[in-house]
């Protein structure tokens, strides 16, 4: 999903220095606005949350040089993304539904199974991002003193699980719908 691209850019570009973090924030903010302009105009919650997050980071980290925020950025970014996802569920506009409707005929937009599936995808992602928050918190304790690279790898694995789940779930639902259509027309 294009809505996640600024977050992925941030994850891979932020590095271990203040200058790499500042550059990653600028690139992610620019990507948020340029790649997500249409989504912003349509009120996509993930896109708005992403732009607001990176704009706040630009002010606090790039302009104000707040080292504490910079040091806690993995925790804060995971928390922000999880909060955006949970908020989209709480206000009844799951982010997955907004993106899924894009390529769908309007007559299917209110299909109960379609909406339920989008809620489920959003909830899975929200749980995965909440897990990423917990991993970021765990990283700050002495309970499991792994090198930082291990925590980064766990974060990547978390994203891969989410992408794999979404792909398999969507494919399964599409096949179920096609099968039901074939049965309804007697093939």
Q: What is the pLDDT of residues 103-136, one digit of tens each?
A: 788 888 898 989 999 999 999 999 999 999 999 9
* Residue pLDDT, tens place only, 146-179: 887 888 898 899 999 999 999 999 999 888 888 8
Question: Does residue 47 sit in the same domain as residue 81?
Answer: no
Indicate the pTM of the whole model: 0.89
% of the chain with per-residue pLDDT over 70: 97
Q: What is the mean pLDDT of the chain?
A: 92
Assigned domain for 186 exists: no
**Among 20, 51, 24, residue whose Cα is nearest residue 35:** 51
Provide the pLDDT confidence category of residue 65 given band limits of 50, 70 and 90. Answer: very high
Assigned domain for 82 exists: yes
Concatenated DSSP letters of 14-25: --SSHHHHHHHH
Question: Does residue 31 sit in the same domain as residue 88?
Answer: no
Domain termination site, one of 26, 50, 71: 71
Question: Does residue 55 sit in the same domain as residue 91?
Answer: no
The domain tally of the chain equals 2
Question: Does residue 28 sit in the same domain as residue 94?
Answer: no
**Among 99, 100, 149, 156, residue whose Cα is nearest residue 131:** 156
Mean per-residue pLDDT, 21-41: 96
Domain termination site, one of 71, 97, 112: 71
Domain termination site, one of 44, 71, 98: 71
Please check the confidence at residue 144 and state whether its pLDDT lies above 90.
Answer: no
Give the domain extent around 11. Answer: 1-71
The pLDDT value given to residue 185? 66
Question: Does residue 156 sit in the same domain as residue 101?
Answer: yes
Mean per-residue pLDDT, 6-31: 96
CA gap 183, 187 in Å, rounded: 6
Assigned domain for 183 exists: no
Identify the weakest region by mean pLDDT among 42-56, 60-74, 78-92, 93-107. Answer: 93-107
Assigned domain for 128 exists: yes
């Amino acid at each position: 999903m294009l809505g996640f691209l600024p977050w992925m850019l941030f994850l891979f570009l932020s590095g271990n220095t203040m200058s790499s973090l500042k550059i990653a924030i600028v690139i992610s903010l620019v990507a948020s606005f340029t790649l997500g302009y249409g989504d912003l105009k349509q009120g996509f919650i993930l896109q708005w949350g992403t732009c607001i997050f990176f704009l706040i980071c630009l002010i606090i980290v790039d302009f104000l040089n707040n080292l504490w925020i910079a040091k806690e950025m993995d925790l804060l970014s995971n928390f922000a993304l999880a909060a955006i996802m949970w908020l989209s569920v709480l206000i009844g506009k799951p982010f997955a539904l907004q993106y899924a409707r894009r390529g769908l005929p309007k007559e299917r937009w209110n299909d109960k199974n379609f909406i339920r599936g989008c809620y489920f995808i959003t909830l899975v992602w929200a749980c995965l991002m909440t897990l990423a928050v917990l991993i970021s918190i765990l990283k700050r304790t002495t309970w499991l003193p792994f090198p930082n690279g291990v925590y980064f790898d766990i974060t990547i694995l978390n994203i891969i699980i989410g992408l794999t789940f979404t792909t398999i779930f969507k494919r399964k639902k599409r096949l179920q719908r096609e099968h039901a259509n074939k049965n309804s027309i007697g093939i």
